[in-house]
Structure 1
Amino acid sequence: MQGAAPATVREALDAGDPLPGTRGFAGELDGRLVRDVLGREPLFVDRDGTAPIADGRWSHDPTELTDPDPVPAGHAVDGEASDRLWSLPDPDPFTDRERAVARVRDAVETSVDEVDADGLAVAFSGGVDSAILAARLDAPLYVAGFPDSHDVEAARSAADLLGRELRVVELTHDAIERAVPEIVAATGRTDAMAVQIALPLYLTAERVAADGFGRLALGQGADELFGGYAKVANAPEDPRVDADTVRGARREVVATLPDQLPRDVLALRAAGVEPVTPLLHDRVVAAALRLPGELLVEGDRRKVALREAATDVLPDAVAERDKKAAQYGSLAARELDRLARQAGYKRRMDDHVTKYVESLV
C-alpha cells in the first residue's frame, strides 16, 4: 500500500470514511487493489482484467504493464470485479464565514506544517497556492518559464515580497522537444493539454533532482477545491459546466482530479522527484467541501476562503494575486504550439498540437 498504512485503509473501509486523514493511497490490501476517493496515487492493472491480483499484473507505474488501465478512484478491484468503496462527500456548507475561514486556515497550516522539509524544494509560481507553501516551508523555490513569461515575473516579485531567493528554470525549445517524448512515455498521454500541463512540472522536477533534492512540494488541488477556475466562477452561464450553482460547478471540477493527478505524479516521478501535495490532504479537502459559494467566488474574486485564510502569513499583494494556469503562465503551451506550426502542423488542422506531439514519440 502506497501513501498510507494498511491499517488506516482498513479502518476507512470499515467506517466507510472517504477522507480518513491521508494524502491519498493506492495498492494491494487483503487480496484486492484499492485506490483513494480522489485518485491521488496512481494505480493500474493490465487491461484484460482476467488475471488474479496475486499474479502481480498491477503497478503504480503504467510503463511496467503491457496494457495498463487505471483502477477507478474510490474503488476496489479484484480480477474482473470492480466495487465502489467511497464517494466524495457532499456536506452542508458552513453558515458562519469566520468559522469557515478558520477551518480552512487550520487545515491548510496543519497539512503544510506536517511536511518534512529535508530534501524538499517548492514549485513556486507566485500565486497564493504555492506562496502558502513558500511561507511555511524552509525549502528552495523554483519557477519554470520562458524569459518573458508571466510566471517568472510573478514568482520573482512574490519571492521578493516574501524575502526569499528564487531559482529560475529557463525553458527552451530544445528542452521542450526533448521532454515531450519522455513525458508521453511516463504518462501514456499524447493529448496536447496533458503534455502542455506536464511540461513545466517535468522540467522543474528535472532541475530540482539535478540540484540534489528528492521531493517537490506543489500547490496542486487548490484551484479545484477552492474555486479557482473561471468556469466555476461563471456558473451556471459557462457552457463548460453542467451545474447551476458555483458549489455544484466546483464539485464537477473536483471530480476531474482522479484523471489529472496521475499525469502529474507520473511525470514528476519520471523526472526524479517525489511530489508532495499538502493542499490535497484529506483535512483540506473536507474543509473545502463545506465552503458556501460566496467563499469560493465573490464578485471577481476567486478562492476567497483560501486567500482570507492566508492573510496571516502572506502580504496582501501575494494573497490576492491572480495567476495563470502553469501551461499558460510559463508559455509552455504557446511555445509548443509554435514548434508544432514550425514543423508543419498548422492550426487549420484538427488538434494540430496533439499530432505534433505524436510525431515526436
Structure 2
Amino acid sequence: MDAELHIRGWVEDDGKVLTEDEIRSIVSSHHDRISHLGGEFSITWGGYRLRDHFGVVPGDSPPGIFEEDGRVICRISPEPAILPLEEAIETAVRLRSSPDSVVALSGGVDSSIIAAISGRPSIGVGIEGSHDLVRARDVARVIGSDFTPVLIDPDEVEDALRRVLPLLPSPSPVDASIAVTAYFLCRAASDLGYARIISGQGADEIFCGYNRYLESRDLKADRAADIADLPRQMARDQGVAGLFGIWISLPYLDMRVMRAAEEIPIDEMIRSGVRKFPLRSAARAFLPADIASYEKKAMQYGSGVWKVIRDLARESGFKRAVQGYMNQLQEGRAEHGF
C-alpha cells in the first residue's frame, strides 16, 4: 500500500513493542494477532483505522476497534497472561518508559511507583509551598528521580480555567480544577521537550483509593461505576494535553494490571481502613515502606489550585458557588482578566 502509515503512540504484541514495518505486516494481512495487540495507539493507514482497547490515545475511530473503509473487522482486546501484581505493574511501566516520556510525580504511591520503576525524569506542579510540590520533591530525593518542580502562578489560573472549560462537556468544579492542574503539568512537560506524560491515573478506581470507598455499602458496584467513568476522565485530560501537542500514558490501565487486579477479592482492596491495600503492598517491592503507605490529598487540593479557584470565585461575587463563577467565565462576563 502506498498510503502513509500514521501512528500516534506505541503498539505491543505480547510484551514486544512493534516497529512500523511489523505493524504494516500485521494490519495488511488482517492477522489474528490484531485482536490481541496491546499498547496505547491510534493508527490510520489508508482505509485502515485502529485504536487501543481503552482508547487511551485520542483518535477518529472508536476504542478497541479495527476498521477497514468504515467496516469493523475485529475488536482489539488483549488477553495477556495473569501475572502477580508487582510484575504486571513493572512490565506496564517499563513498556511506557521511552526517551520521550516524563513522569507526573505528586508524591503519592501511584506516581511514586511509576517514577521508581521507570527511571525517567519527573515533574510536579503546584502553588509555591503546596503539599504536592513539597512531597514530590522529598520522594524524588529518596528514590533518586531527576525531578523538576514547576510553580503555578496564581495569576495564571483564571486564564488556564478559561482555556480548559471548553474541553469539558459538563464542567463541574472538581473536573475544572483537575483540568487546570493538568494544564500547567502538560504545559511544563511540553516546554521541557517531552511528548508524553506517564501518569498514575486509574489507580484509585482500580484499587479503591478514594475516601468515599471507606463508607461504601457495595464496594464492587461503586468501583465498577468509577472504572466505567475512566473514559470520560481520559477525554478530559487528553484534551488538555492536546493543547500542547502531547498525550498522557496510563500504565495502570494496562491489561496486565487490570487482570492482576481482577484476581484480588474486592474485600482485600481496603484492609483495616487502609485504601489501595494491594497496591501499597506491591509498592514495597519498589519503594520504602513509608512512601508505599503514605496517603496524599487529591490532585486539585494537593497542588493548591482548588484554593485559588475558590478565591477567584469569591472575588467575583460567588462566595459559595464556584459553579456560578465558572458559568460566568464561559459566558465571557467574568470581571477578572477579560
**Does the 8 Å contact 2:120/2:146 carry over to 1?**
no
- The yes-or-no answer on 1:214 pairing with 2:195 is yes
Q: Relative CO higher for 1 or 2, CA cutoff 8 Å, sep ≥ 6?
A: 1
Structure 1: gaps of 5 or more residues: 44-58, 61-70, 90-99, 237-243
What does residue 172 of structure 2 align with?
Answer: 191
Aligned partner of 2:299 in structure 1 is 326
Task: Choose which of 56, 66, 71 in structure 2 pairs with 1:40.
Answer: 56
Pairwise CA distance, 1:231:
2.5
Q: Paired residue for 1:105, among 71, 86, 97?
A: 86
Match of 2:323 in 1: 351
In the alignment, does 2:303 pair up with 1:287? no
Whether the 8 Å CA contact 1:117–1:138 is kept in 2: the answer is no
What is the distance in 2 between the residues matched to 1:22 and 1:145?
Answer: 33
Alignment equivalent of 2:237, drawn from 254, 259, 264 = 264
Q: Which runs of 4+ in 1 moved over 4 A?
A: 1-15, 24-37, 73-82, 84-89, 185-189
CA–CA separation in structure 1 for the residues paired with 2:225 and 2:138: 33
CA deviation map 1:319-342 (0-9, x unaligned): 111112211111212211211221
**2:210 maps to 1:229:** yes
Q: Does 1:156 align with 2:150?
A: no
Q: Pick one of 202, 214, 222 that aligns with 1:249.
A: 222
**1:235 to partner: Cα distance:** 1.5
Other-structure match for 1:143: 124
Identity rate, percent = 29
Give the length in aligned residue pairs: 311
The 3 A distance-change label for structure 1 pair 32 and 174 is same
CA–CA distance in structure 2, aligned partners of residues 304 and 225 of structure 1: 11
Q: Distance in 2 between matches of 1:280 and 1:117?
A: 17
1:190/1:357 contact within 8 Å kept: no
> For 1:189 and 1:161, how far apart are their aligned partners in 2?
40
Moved more, 6-15 or 322-331: 6-15
Q: Which amino acid aligns with 1:126?
A: G
Aligned pairs for 1:75-90 within 5 A: none
Give a deviation string over 1:153-197, Cα, whole Å, max 9, x none: 221221222233432211122221221222234555643322211
CA RMSD of aligned residues (A): 3.5
How many angstroms apart in 2 are the aligned matches of 1:285 and 1:156?
29
Instruction: Report the CA distance between 1:146 and its aligned residue.
Output: 1.2
Q: Distance in 2 between matches of 1:251 and 1:11?
A: 33
| TM-score, length basis structure 2 | 0.78
Aligned to 1:241: none
Give the direction of change, closer, same or farther, for the CA distance of 1:359–1:140 in structure 2 (3 Å limit): farther
Query: Structure 1 residue 278 and structure 2 residue 278: aligned?
Result: no
Query: What per-residue deviation string (whole Å, max 9, x for no partner) do you get for residues 250-296 of structure 1?
Result: 21211111111111112112123232222221211121122212331
The reply to whether residue 305 of structure 1 matches residue 278 of structure 2 is yes
Q: Partner of 2:20 in structure 1? A: none
Of the structure 1 ranges 328-337 and 73-82, higher mean CA displacement relative to structure 2 is found in 73-82
